[in-house]
Chains A and B, each alone.
Chain A
Amino acid sequence: MSLLERIEKLEEAKAWPGSIPITSRYTVGIAGERFFREIKDNARFLGTRCPNCDITYVPPRLYCERCFAKLDDWVEVEPTGTVRTYTVLHLALDGSPLDEPEILAFIVLDGSDGGLVHRLGEVDPDEVEIGMRVEAVFKPEAERKGSILDIGYFRPL
């Protein structure tokens, strides 16, 4: 008895399920604001350059991660790039199977040292290759909201 008393049958174990309602709000920040506004208004990518380190940051950073210098040299970056790595998804976020597999890739944008994680479209999963040349397909201006989803996907060049 006493402390040695244990629950031996699983159905005796009793737990109270509950849930905590939380909503979080993430602001894109000063550099992010400029980056996403430019996508929304002009369908262009911007980056920031550190002349010291000879690095162009995409997404743009306000400070250089290597030399801590403040960055105010904003440059336009090409909407084209190269697939650095990719994966093919067959399951949705909740674990349910997807009708069509989705391809997610990290794309290094031309003229920058950074890149974006985004979907690949207009391409068969079997045909995707590391090093493949792709370009961004922006949504029509009326549908753009200043989010990363203003880019529909990247497609092969």
Chain B
Amino acid sequence: MTASIKEFPGMALSRKDFEEGRVLFTTWDPNARYAWEAGVAIGRYLAELKNGRLIGRKCRKCRRIMVPPRMFCEHCFRPTDEWVYLEDTGTVISYSLCYVTWDVKRVKEPIIPAIIEIDGASKGMGIMHLLDEVEPDEVKIGMRVKALWKSPEEREGAITDIRYFKPL
């Protein structure tokens, strides 16, 4: 519908109009702070990361052990039943070589995000993390890896309490 309107009312403004002070304006930085509530399952998951271990959640009906843990089984539509401690080792099931950082800065040495199927959890259940201490062209799907943890004093209950995964 807008295609049939040749000229819109009002004034179109360009960047130059602002830079050269041709229009009057005010700027304002709203205070957009927020807090994301982790919930029961992720709350425990993060607490256990601080303790230096991974934890999952089991559904007794489909017998899946899920990581990251969740309080509700999306397959069976029922609450999950128990907490299960997992290994901090796993298998790379997918990865990527990234030559840009998350805020789009170029890097020479690629960053290697990977999905790691965690030992002790069901097949295909894994977490995303970084790989390191490995040459980019040596990374393979199916590669066995182990978490490198921060020291207990440095850990704060975040996924970054694991620095990265390295080949076993």
A interface residues with partner B (beta carbon < 8 Å): 1-3, 5-7, 12-28, 30, 32-33, 36-37, 146-147
Please give me the 9 A-B residue pairs with the lowest Cβ-Cβ distance, nearest first.
A2-B79, A20-B32, A14-B38, A15-B35, A16-B36, A146-B24, A3-B79, A14-B43, A19-B33
In the complex formed, the residue of A with least CB distance to B59 is A2
In the complex formed, the residue of B with least CB distance to A148 is B26
Judged by a CB distance under 8 angstroms, whether B34 is at the interface is yes
26 A–B contact pairs at CB < 8 A? A1-B82, A2-B81, A3-B71, A5-B40, A7-B40, A13-B37, A13-B43, A14-B43, A16-B35, A16-B38, A17-B33, A19-B32, A19-B33, A20-B32, A22-B30, A22-B32, A24-B28, A24-B30, A25-B27, A26-B26, A27-B25, A28-B25, A30-B10, A30-B11, A37-B24, A147-B24
Is B42 a contact of A14 with CB atoms below 8 Å?
yes
Interface of A: prevailing SS: mixed
Is A2 a contact of B80 with CB atoms below 8 Å?
yes
| B interface, size bucket | 20 to 34
Interface of B: prevailing SS: mixed
In the complex formed, the residue of A with least CB distance to B21 is A146
Judged by a CB distance under 8 angstroms, whether B13 is at the interface is yes
Judged by a CB distance under 8 angstroms, whether B23 is at the interface is yes
Most B Cβ at <10 Å: residue of A17, A26, A27, A37: A27
A contact residues around B157 at 8 Å (CB): 14
B interface residues with partner A (beta carbon < 8 Å): 10-11, 13, 18, 23-38, 40, 42-43, 46-47, 71-72, 79-82, 157
Is B24 a contact of A23 with CB atoms below 8 Å?
no
Is A20 a contact of B72 with CB atoms below 8 Å?
no
Is B24 a contact of A27 with CB atoms below 8 Å?
yes
Q: In the docked arrangement, what's the CA distance between A67 and B157, Å?
A: 62
Given that A25-B18, A30-B11 are contacting pairs, would A7 and B43 also be in contact in the complex, using a CB cutoff of 8 Å?
yes
Most A Cβ at <10 Å: residue of B18, B71, B82: B71
